[in-house]
Structure 1
Amino acid sequence: MYQLKVIVASTRPGRKGPAIAKWFMDMLNEQSDFEVELIDLKEVNLPFMDEPEHPRLQKYQHEHTKAWSKKIAGADAFVFVTPEYNFGYPASLKNALDFLYQEWSYKPVGFVSYGGLAGGTRAVQMLKQVVTAMKMVPLVEAVHIPYFTKYMDDEEQFVGDEGHVRMAQGLLKELAWWTQKLEK
């Protein structure tokens, strides 16, 4: 069984990423291709990049980097749950990516994005440039959620519609295919 890490990118107060990630994780419970771990960057709480050596060398000096390396190295695939901030993605996700290099390489990555009119698509387009430079394989299939607040219920839980479910199913199908093809 493949190891999938679902990473919640937003760390700010009042964020909705955990609710959207919970909905996506519930979708994952209906499949059997992946063993899944949810990683919340707010809980990981990485400092701003503080390693003196280039990440490709893997000469990590700090325990938080060594722990982050171990967690990410154990993954076969990723899904980033990210909002769109000012046409981009959160600095917390860029920082988490930049701490490592080898651990991300040659693994597929999918996206669940949310925002206003564009549903996070501009953030994903920027992310695709970065993850491609890190030798990751960004998938075309994604879940984009425009005006995501209208899908939040009275208890602040995300309730996706049929379109969101179809997008998630398509993403998971492709993620399983690419994970198998890129298996080392």
Structure 2
Amino acid sequence: MSATETAPLRIAVIVGSVREGRAGRAVTDWFLGTAEGADDLHLDVVDLADVELPMVMPGWGGTPSPEAVAALADVTPRLAAADAFVVVTPEYNHSFPASLKNFIDWHHEQWHAKPVGFVSYGGLSGGLRAVEQLRLIFAELHAMTVRDSVSLHGPWSGLTEDGAPRDEAVCEGAAKGMLGQLSWWGRSLRTAREIRPYSG
């Protein structure tokens, strides 16, 4: 096997909510715990609450602040280096946070020919309507979303104080299933990009 095939899979885990009092970081920490012990995975958490992104898009006029330029200089190479992504998102008004859309839109080729998995939470839908919309956006960006996702329903009553799901066995099984699909696609597409670079 080649070095590419045996190297740990680099997964960027994106925390999409920046709201005060958000459940997103606790949900992310729980998800990271389900992946513990997997030596073949390298997880890099990109918390959008720590990334000061400009609201002016490239080519739309205006000049991003020096802080925004610095934020992009730190985070963009991390996305480029990733083999796959996991997006942790709540559902707000049948959709996903504006902070997440802004972050996605600031990048383009970094998503190309890479798989994306989802961990969603929120109300009775468990964030599934946010995931449905994100699948359309990532398709436009030449990314491939894996079929199975992790959906946490009613996190304010469905999560313990430390952020773990109350129905932990079912949710952990879903997380491991999604990670299995993400790993298969991540490794397959990484090898494919090495053999034949993706042109888009």
- Give the distance between the partners of 1:62 and 1:50, measured in 2 at CA: 12
Counterpart residue number, 1:56? none
Tell me if structure 1 keeps the 8 A contact 2:46–2:75. no
Moved over 6 A (4+): none
Counterpart residue number, 1:36? 43
- Give the distance between the partners of 1:136 and 1:50, measured in 2 at CA: 21
- Among 158, 168, 178, which residue is 2:164 paired with? 158
- Give the distance between the partners of 2:56 and 2:84, measured in 1 at CA: 23
Tell me if structure 2 keeps the 8 A contact 1:76–1:107. yes
- Give the distance between the partners of 1:151 and 1:116, measured in 2 at CA: 9
CA RMSD of superposed structures (Å):
1.6
Report the alpha carbon displacement of residue 66 of structure 1 after superposing the two structures with TM. 2.9
Calculate the TM-score normalised by the size of structure 1.
0.90
Tell me if structure 2 keeps the 8 A contact 1:2–1:33. yes
- Among 2, 6, 11, which residue is 2:13 paired with? 6
Counterpart residue number, 1:58? none
Report the alpha carbon displacement of residue 139 of structure 1 after superposing the two structures with TM. 0.8
Q: Aligned residue pairs: how many?
A: 176
- Give the distance between the partners of 1:181 and 1:143, measured in 2 at CA: 22
Calculate the TM-score normalised by the size of structure 2.
0.83
Counterpart residue number, 2:127? 120
What does residue range 32-111 of structure 1 map to in structure 2 within 5 Å?
32-52=39-59, 62-111=69-118
- Give the distance between the partners of 1:69 and 1:162, measured in 2 at CA: 35
- Give the distance between the partners of 1:39 and 1:64, measured in 2 at CA: 11
Q: State the SS of the aligned residue for 1:175.
A: helix
- Matched letter for residue 163 of structure 2: Q
Q: State the SS of the aligned residue for 1:7.
A: strand
Counterpart residue number, 1:142? 149
Counterpart residue number, 2:198? none
Tell me if structure 2 keeps the 8 A contact 1:23–1:158. yes
Structure 1 unaligned blocks of 5 or more = 54-60
Report the alpha carbon displacement of residue 75 of structure 1 after superposing the two structures with TM. 0.5
Percent identical among aligned pairs is 36
Which structure has the highest helix share of the two?
2
- Matched letter for residue 3 of structure 1: R
CA offsets per residue over residues 70-102 of structure 1, 9 Å max, x none? 121010000000000000000111100000100
